[in-house]
Amino acid sequence: MENHPAFKPGNVAVITGAADGIGLAAAQCFSGYGMHVLMADIEAEKLDTVAAEIRSAKVFKDNQIVTHTLNVSQLGQVIELKKFAFETFGQVDVLMNNAGTSRKTSSWSELDDWRHLIEVNLWGIIHGVHAFTDAMIAQASPGLIINTGSKQGITNPPGNPAYNVSKAGVKAATESLQHALRNTNDCQVSAHLLVPGYTYTGLTKRHVSEKPAGAWLPRQVVDYMVEAINRGRFYIICPDNEVSSAEDARRILWAAGDLAYNRTALSRWDETFADDFANFKVD
């Protein structure tokens, strides 16, 4: 299967959260296609180190790997990223709004952490969309806006409500973005929601020193993402070594059933419904 036309030599990818994990893997992947890559992250030193490694491993001689330090929660800094990208390359063909963070929260405490998570995970993506979309449409060429969400933003498991809220917002914003893009005359830009499974990223490494058997590597997520985009998929819900795509579908449909059948909130984690969920099958 041929790659999406945005993934071609000489085209430009802008990636936030590019110093580690999925963002770094995407930068490595896109560089391997001969694309110019603008890697953006809040961690300047780490970003410069990994960018140098990508440069040293390049197969194509002419593609550039450049870096830019920013905090995506600040709109002005994201606008500066957009200006830098167009001043440097004159175009942006792939925008990957990937920067994200996590902190432990509960429903009525850690208010500052709530605010921080929503500012980075949700507002960071909204800022990217607002800064880049008009200019990408105006190029009149195939383009991609990829926003990184989470399964926690779909099924809302207990344990970190602020993170779940931020990622649920990413899902809603990206769905609305794709609807708007496909109803914009002469628009060749499409939006896609990347939903990784259990992935061994920098966030995971805070808690475990070695990759758990159940986790995918970031490059597996990126390869799955590229194949899904090549097939024209909007929802890119990645499996992992523990959870299959079929099990993801089962969990998502059960969660939707809480609303449709007026079950208790988050019934999957309510002992009253344990047997019902265990026996729930998806055709």
DSSP 3-state assignment of 271? Answer: helix
Positive or negative: CA dihedral 203, 228, 162, 126? positive
Q: Which amino acid is at 272?
A: T
Q: Has 33 been annotated as catalytic?
A: no
Dihedral (Cα; 250, 255, 257, 258), 10-degree rounding: 150
Helix axis angle, 44-56 to 21-32, nearest 10°: 30
Identify the residue whose tokens are 């000489």.
10
The whole-angstrom separation of Cα 208 and Cα 196 is 18
Answer for the pair 163, 112: CB distance below 8 angstroms, yes or no. no
Of 163, 198, 235, 261, the catalytic one is 163
DSSP 3-state assignment of 98? Answer: coil
Identify the residue whose tokens are 């986790």.
215
Answer for the pair 127, 47: CB distance below 8 angstroms, yes or no. no
Answer for the pair 93, 34: CB distance below 8 angstroms, yes or no. no
CB burial of 112-134 (b: ≥16 within 10 Å; e: otherwise) equals ebbebbbbbbbbbbbbbbebbbe
Hey, which residues are catalytic here? Answer: 163
